[in-house]
A and B are shown apart, each in its own frame.
Chain A
Amino acid sequence: MQALYAQLLVGLINGSFYALLSLGLAVIFGMLNIINFAHGALYMMGAFCAYFLLSLTGLGYWPALIVAPIVVGIFGMILERTMLQWLAGLDHLYGLLLTFGIALIVQGVFQNYFGSSGLPYAIPDELKGGMNLGFMFLPIYRGWVVIFSLVVCIATWYLIERTRLGAYLRAATENPTLVRAFGVNVPRMITLTYGLGVGLAALAGVLSAPINQVRPLMGADLIIVVFAVVVIGGMGSIMGSIITGFALGVIEGLTKYFYPEASNTVVFVLMVLVLLVKPTGLTGRAA
């Protein structure tokens, strides 16, 4: 049973990353109509940012949790201002191709300097050790990742669904021209939205640094799984992305326990099944 709970926890942690990343993808897609292929590369940049902060400036985990998303978010906003904004009005697929190119550049540059092996990043002192829950041993850091991700996801949901800023955002998604006519600076809002989505990816990167090591290709395979998560969940609803992300992480964890050979593929198989039964995704509207 110990092993089962351990795999469930690993599943929940992967689910946190799926949720944070697919949430960002959904928010970006809503505003920019772009599927951000560079999301995995930016997630990796978040982890590297934490690594550099520690090794170059001595800033530890807690400052990195705030600084890395901001730095990478600004990098994302520069990308949006200099490149992505020129794609408005073109076929959506160009956004996919452009961000794929950006991902190749970022990952290639990091691979040149850091190879493919992982760099260690220590768990902060406050979160070291573990708790005995009676039925299992819980490493505190892992519990922290799950709870903190959940809080961030809910906060993002609240920001978009329940605040005035979020209302502008949703309105601009539906009809940007009309919202501009009301005096809202929609292009700036688009830039900030991209920054927000990218910042969430970077935050996930910082969270995963102590668990998965810091590697140039850590986001490359992850983003493909997240695409499958997005196809399963549909991008119509924020809460849908969060729930699907966590749920698929747990299912993956269970698969690791009961049938380890399929743990890499289970998300993709589920995607096929969902497409056969409900092609628009579990929460998605018809495209």
Chain B
Amino acid sequence: MSALTDDTLPITPRAIRDEMIVFAVMAVLLAVVPWTGIYPFFVMQALCFALLACAFNLLIGYGGLLSFGHAMFLGTAGYVSAHALKVWGLSPELGILAGTAAAAALGVITGFVSIRRQGIYFSMITLALSQLLYFIYLQTPFTHGEDGIQGIPQGHLFGVFDLSKPTVLYYVVLAGFLGGFLLIYRTINSPFGEVLKAIRENEPRAISLGYKTDQYKLMAYILSGTIAGFAGSLKVFVAQNASLTDVHWSMSGEVVLMTLVGGLGTVFGPVVGAFVIIAMQQYLAGYGQWVTVIQGVIFVACVLTFRRGVIGEIAHFLRRSL
């Protein structure tokens, strides 16, 4: 059986060097955005989703676990951050911390349940768990049901950076994204990441070598959920609301789509995929439900003809690891 990411290359100094060059180019490109006249709100939104997709990719690309419920981390962290900022009046850094911590706790609980099954069952379980949370958030009073939490104050980060200024907010979001991205990058290139890849390739052999694979998978799941939650907390400052959309299964589907388009198991694929999908939604916003249809068509086309994704194809063509 061919795995989801069948042409991963071994980590070599050259691969690391290539990836650091691409990372530097990406960081510079993103840093000059405020001077280009591109709508910063669009890029900030895309960055939040890019970080979410990267977190999702950590699980599927390196752990072989396809989560169909990553919206639950996005939504949970968003709700908790929004509530902390608006009702408790916490400062932005504490709000982000609260949201991320909530996502981490959620990761511990749901991870303990979901990693008991592999493959397709894992996907169905994560989907069902996120639907469970959706109904809980629909009914609990603090989320304000269909209305969501609105009008969230942005405040001053560390008491210095005024987040109501778009440029300041942009750089804060960018810093958060780059930090999260590097954390994921560090993880997949660590001994821990190597064990994850070994589990993905051949779990029985990893077990026979003495690795407690369940613990590794659980750790990866919690880490992925925590980073996804961090993205959700950042998104609260951009969108200034937290709503049920962020916990809905269609959001989980979008994250899968972003990563699939960019390239499962590639380092930069989820970022590219997130920008492609968010841009598509922006340009097609007037076409109503046809956006859903187009997303479905992209899913089908990617699975049938374009399984490596954009970055995966480029990397394959150049015989590099990206």
Using a CB–CB cutoff of 8 Å, the interface residues on chain A facing chain B are 35, 83, 86-87, 89-94, 96-98, 100-109, 111-112, 220-221, 224-225, 227-228, 230-231, 261, 264-265, 268-269, 271-272, 275-276, 279, 287
Which residues on B are within 8 Å of A, measured CB to CB?
1-4, 66, 68, 113-114, 116-121, 123-125, 127-129, 131-132, 135-136, 138-139, 249, 253, 256, 260, 288-293, 295-300, 302-304, 307
Residues of A within 8 A of B139 (CB): 261
What residues of chain A lie closer than 8 Å to B124, measured between beta carbons?
A: 35, 227-228, 230-231
B125–A98 CB distance below 8 A: no
Report chain B residues within 8 Å CB of A107: 292
Q: A111-B292, A228-B124 are in contact. Are A101 and B300 (CB under 8 A)?
A: yes
Give B60's nearest chain A residue, CB to CB.
A93
Q: Which residues of A contact B125 (CB under 8 A)?
A: 231, 271, 275
CB neighbours (8 Å) of A261 from chain B are: 139
Q: Are B292 and A276 in contact (CB under 8 A)?
A: no
Would you mind naming 21 contact pairs between A and B with Cβ atoms under 8 Å apart? A35-B123, A90-B1, A91-B2, A91-B4, A96-B120, A100-B253, A100-B296, A102-B296, A104-B299, A105-B297, A108-B293, A108-B296, A111-B292, A221-B131, A268-B131, A269-B132, A271-B125, A271-B128, A272-B113, A272-B132, A275-B114
Q: Which residues of A contact B299 (CB under 8 A)?
A: 97-98, 100-101, 104
Distance of A77 Cα from B121 Cα, bound (Å): 25
Question: Whole-angstrom distance from the CB of B61 to the nearest CB of chain A?
Answer: 12
Given contacts A101-B299, A104-B295, contact A275 B117 (CB under 8 A): yes
| Bound CA–CA A83/B302 (angstroms) | 12
Chain A binding surface, main DSSP class: helix
- Pairwise interchain contact A83-B304, C-beta atoms closer than 8 A: yes
Closest residue of chain A to B305, judged by CB? Answer: A86
13 new A-B pairs (CB below 8 Å) besides A105-B293, A108-B290, A287-B118? A89-B2, A92-B119, A94-B4, A94-B303, A98-B304, A101-B297, A108-B291, A112-B293, A224-B131, A227-B127, A228-B131, A264-B138, A276-B113
Determine how close the nearest CB of chain A comes to the CB of B196; give it in whole angstroms.
17
Given contacts A108-B289, A111-B292, contact A93 B120 (CB under 8 A): yes
Determine if A287 and B113 form an interchain contact, defined as CB atoms under 8 angstroms apart.
no
B269 to chain A, nearest CB (A): 15
A92 CA / B4 CA spacing, docked (Å): 9
A106 and B289 alpha carbons, distance in the complex (Å): 11
Q: Which residue of B lies closest to A272 (CB)?
A: B113
The reply to whether B300 and A98 contact each other, CB–CB distance below 8 Å, is: yes
Whether A287 touches B292, Cβ cut-off 8 Å, given contacts A96-B123, A97-B299, is: no
Supposing A98-B299, A279-B116, A287-B117 touch, asked if A104 and B128 sit within 8 A by C-beta, the answer is: no
Once the chains are docked, how many angstroms separate the CA of A105 from the CA of B257? 14
State whether A93 touches B4 (Cβ < 8 A): yes
Contacts of A227 in B (CB 8 A): 124, 127-128
Complex interface: chain B residues within 8 A of A287 (CB):
117-119, 121
Q: Is the CB of A224 within 8 A of B293?
A: no
Residues of A contacting B256 in the complex (Cβ-Cβ under 8 angstroms)? 97, 100
Chain A residue with Cβ nearest B298: A101
CA distance A112 to B302 in the complex (A): 23
B260 A97 Cβ-Cβ under 8 A: yes
Q: In the bound complex, what is the Cα–Cα distance between A107 and B289 (angstroms)? A: 9
Identify A265's interface contact among B116, B135, B293, CB under 8 A. Answer: B135
For residue A269, which residues in chain B have a CB less than 8 angstroms away from its CB?
132
Q: How far is B4's CA from A105's CA once the two chains are assembled, in angstroms?
A: 23
Q: Are A98 and B131 in contact (CB under 8 A)?
A: no
Task: Answer whether A87 and B303 are a contact pair too, CB < 8 Å, given A101-B298, A227-B128, A287-B119.
Answer: yes
A220 to B4, CA, bound (A): 26
Q: Which of the listed residues A97, A105, A112 has the most CB atoms from chain B within 10 Å of its own CB?
A: A97
Tell whether A93 pairs with B1 under 8 Å between CB atoms, given A87-B303, A104-B296.
Answer: no
Q: Is A93 touching B119 in the complex (CB atoms < 8 A)?
A: yes
| Contact call A112/B4, Cβ cutoff below 8 A | no
Closest residue of chain B to A38 (Cβ to Cβ) is B296
Q: Which 6 pairs between the two chains have the least Cβ-Cβ distance? A: A101-B299, A104-B296, A108-B292, A105-B296, A108-B293, A268-B132
